[in-house]
Amino acid sequence: MKKKTSFSTKGQKADIGNITIYRMLANRYADKVGPFIFLDHIVPKLSDGVKNSGTGAHPHRGIATLTYVLDGEVEHFDSRGNHQRVHSGGIQWMKAGNGILHDETLNADSQSVNNLMHAFQFWINLPSNIKSEDPEYLAIQSSEVPQQKFAEDKGWLKVIVGAYEDLNSRIPNYSEQFLYHIHLEAGTDFTISLGDKIEVAAFLPSRKTVLNDLEFQAGEFIEFDRTAGEITLQNNEDQATDLLLFGGEEYTEPIAAEGPFVMNSSSGIAEAYRDFYAGKYGTLKHQKGKV
């Protein structure tokens, strides 16, 4: 049985400097999909050669941030001393845990002649017992991302988070969760089966695609119902298309969110701010260009 569409929507513009961003989640219909509570799409743009200044040092607590770089290079710094560059096709994951400061900058990839910048940032809500743990950081380059090629050269699936068949992401799972990048060549299709009570959404970053017999446009965010069933992706166009499919089991604990903090109560938010202003998240020392 095919899963039914609950809703579809397009994001709200949330630009930072000269980078064009569309906020896809939270949206007017949903504030979460499984453990995922935030999704920004940094739309494709040719670099003008001027280095971006980054987001600026800022705190997080209670979540994990995940940046998936399709094109470009993200440079990361945090108050735990982590400093790394992730190149096109790579992932950076940071468990904020009980509090951290970080900064990240997206620019053209220094290892590629492609001057395109294109990325996604997700926030993954952590269970209450993990929110109190120390921060962690992972940099996963493109060659380390698990990938399965489809038969007959139909395309491929990359496992960014979670598992697919015998493939497993290096990113820790604190609940059932998944994030797949699916690439379909022209005139091909792919079907995936999902279990009962699993929240799932799709995002189309570049081209229109048919999902369970309904056509959706580039830039659309689509959520499906929570009953067990299949999602069939069809690319009826004459060019390849890409799709992000993500979700997991429902996050059932209370959610209190304010600014860069996501906790389980208003008192948890207040404590997050107190600790930040008390300097408990450490300090950030930028040494850009030295990795």
Q: What is the pLDDT of residues 61-81, one digit of tens each?
A: 999 999 999 999 999 999 999
State how far Cα 100 lies from the chain centre: 19
State how far Cα 29 lies from the chain centre: 19
Which amino acid makes up residue 52? N
Q: Where are the domains of the chain?
A: 5-277
SS3 readout for 184-196:
ECCCCEEEEEECC
Q: Are 58 and 121 in contact (CB under 8 A)?
A: no
Q: What is the pLDDT of residue 53?
A: 54
Q: In angstroms, rounded to a whole number, what is the distance separating the alpha carbons of residues 154 and 164?
A: 17
Q: What is the pLDDT of residue 54?
A: 64
Confidence of residue 291 (pLDDT cuts 50, 70, 90): very low
Q: Are 76 and 139 in contact (CB under 8 A)?
A: yes
Q: In angstroms, rounded to a whole number, what is the distance separating the alpha carbons of residues 224 and 3?
A: 6
Q: What is the pLDDT of residues 142-152, one digit of tens each?
A: 999 999 999 99
Q: What is the pLDDT of residues 95-130, one digit of tens each?
A: 999 999 999 999 999 898 888 999 999 999 999 999
Q: What is the pLDDT of residue 19?
A: 85
How is residue 290 written in tokens?
């030295």
State how far Cα 258 lies from the chain centre: 19
Q: What is the pLDDT of residue 289?
A: 45
How is residue 92 written in tokens?
């950076």
- First-last CA distance in the chain: 50
Q: Are 47 and 119 in contact (CB under 8 A)?
A: no
Q: What pTM does this model have?
A: 0.95
Element (H, E) at 21: strand 21-25
Among 242, 262, 233, 254, residue whose Cα is nearest residue 61: 262
Kindly state the average pLDDT of the residues 159-164: 98
Q: Where are the alpha helices (DSSP H) in the chain?
A: 128-131, 266-277
Q: In angstroms, rounded to a whole number, what is the distance separating the alpha carbons of residues 257 and 252?
A: 15
- The class of domain 5-277 in CATH terms is mainly beta
Q: Are 263 and 56 in contact (CB under 8 A)?
A: no
Q: What is the pLDDT of residue 114?
A: 87
Among 159, 182, 196, 162, residue whose Cα is nearest residue 35: 162
Q: In angstroms, rounded to a whole number, what is the distance separating the alpha carbons of residues 22 and 218?
A: 12
Confidence of residue 48 (pLDDT cuts 50, 70, 90): confident
Q: Bridge-partner residues for 258, per DSSP? A: 261
Among 95, 110, 105, residue whose Cα is nearest residue 286: 105
